Amino acid sequence: MTYGRNNLRLMFRRGLAYPMYLDVARDRELIESVIEFYEIHVGKPYGSIDWEELRILIGDDRLFEALRKTLGIFYKPKNIGIVSVHNLRDLRKKVFQIVNEKYGGYVPSKLRENILKEIEEILRVHNIDEILWSDDIMEKPLVRIRKPSVRDVVEAFNFETIDTICVNSSKITFEITEHGNGVSAFAKFVGRFSKLYGLIYDIRYLNGKLKATVEGPHGIFGKPTKYGTRLSLFIAKSIPYLKMFERFRIVAETVFTRRKIGVIIFENKIPQINIHGEVKVREAFDSSIEKSIYYTLKSLKLNVKREPEPVALGDLLYIPDFLIKYGDKKFYVEIAGYWREEYAEKKAYKIAEVSKYINNIIVISDEKLATYFEKIRNVKTLTYSLRSGKPILPYGKLLKMLKGAS
């Protein structure tokens, strides 16, 4: 859920925008008042609530709209219900049919109550007037899903702020001004989760900074923001890694009506956000294809390592799927399967860039995607076909490749 780009509160400095998050300590009094407003109105028809009172209480139109949508996580107008939507439609048809047949399609207001009682007897339904309009949101009572704490509201609002930015963004860039093991772990995280979410990444060292750009594989006619929800999830997953660093920031390229604006999502500090538990990169495979190929390579007694350390190539950081050590040589293996064409195009471009630095890259590709990789210099391509969901690959040809280069 997002609360809408028009409700974003942004501060501008030097051509960049900074979102205004909530804080438990600073905004406690305001959030307590908002929760109290909702609690007072629990059980009342949604349409009878004076929302203008809440707007005045909050004192900021954008914050009012954003908080109202955020509080929808905890409080909702809800059917107490009596009948399903499908049955309700049938019931209305029967009532209108009776009114047309018995009263010529018109019920005078002074006879309305008596006629409703007569219809109730005909249809054997009690409280029919209430039931007929029970799906009208204005008539539904406001119910509490669960009573939130101040922290609950702040954390939910802050995450919805990030989500609102990301669903209107074409890409995000992580900038980290540090070196060491933490950077390597972060780079591996970027490579792994980009693949899990079907995103394209590029990691480089520029001017003493690690820059990792993550975006969707946009086609020519695709919306530039179509992968925004995945970007917000990606940021949520990145938080445990960012906590390892003192100096970092995330910049989103956010699309507004007439232009793109750089929005600084985080800078050296992470706001209070509702993230459930620590997110760790598990030793799990991205697909059954990758898993099958990995264990087959192991069965061939090859020295194969999954998700190895990033390889520095000039200012470029490269993370292969597998690393095979054969004799005194290293081979970098990419698995290309279940990819859309636009993703394959971007991935082929990235591998072509890497191949300018190293010539021991092997792409194991679904036969439908092979044409994207076969023309890349210094890259060897093996294709597989699927049989009963399992990849059939000429492993003998792979062993010849390894031996021939050793």
Q: What is the pLDDT of residue 129?
A: 64
> b or e along 354-363 (b: 16 or more beta carbons within 10 Å of the residue's beta carbon)?
bbeebebbbb
CA atoms within 13 A on the CB side of 285: 14
What residue ranges do the domains of the chain occupy? 5-78+141-159, 85-132, 167-267, 288-405
| Lookup: tokens for 97 | 């049919």
Q: Decide which of 2.60.40, 3.40.1350, 3.30.1490, 1.20.58 is the CATH code for 288-405.
A: 3.40.1350
- pTM equals 0.71
Name the amino acid, one letter, at 401.
M
pLDDT for 134 equals: 57
**SS3 assignment, position 273:** coil
Each residue's pLDDT, cut to its tens digit, for the chain (406 residues) gives 688 889 999 999 989 999 999 999 999 999 999 999 999 999 888 888 999 999 999 999 999 999 999 999 999 987 655 544 446 677 777 777 887 877 777 777 777 778 878 887 888 777 776 666 555 555 688 999 999 999 999 999 999 999 999 989 989 999 998 776 788 889 989 988 887 777 888 998 877 789 999 988 664 445 666 778 888 889 988 999 999 999 999 999 998 877 889 999 999 999 998 754 343 433 445 567 888 888 888 888 899 998 788 888 878 888 888 999 998 899 999 888 766 777 788 888 889 988 888 888 999 988 888 888 888 888 999 988 888 778 888 888 888 888 876 5
Domain 167-267: state its class.
alpha beta
Helix (H, G, I), strand (E, B) or coil at 17: strand
Residues forming beta bridges with residue 257, ordered by sequence position: none
Residue closest to 354 by CA, chosen among 325, 372, 378, 336 = 378
- Residue 269's CB is within 10 A of a number of other CB atoms, namely 9
CB count within 10 Å of CB 47 equals: 12
Residue 1: the pLDDT is: 67
Q: How far is Cα 265 from Cα 107, in angstroms, rounded to an integer?
A: 59
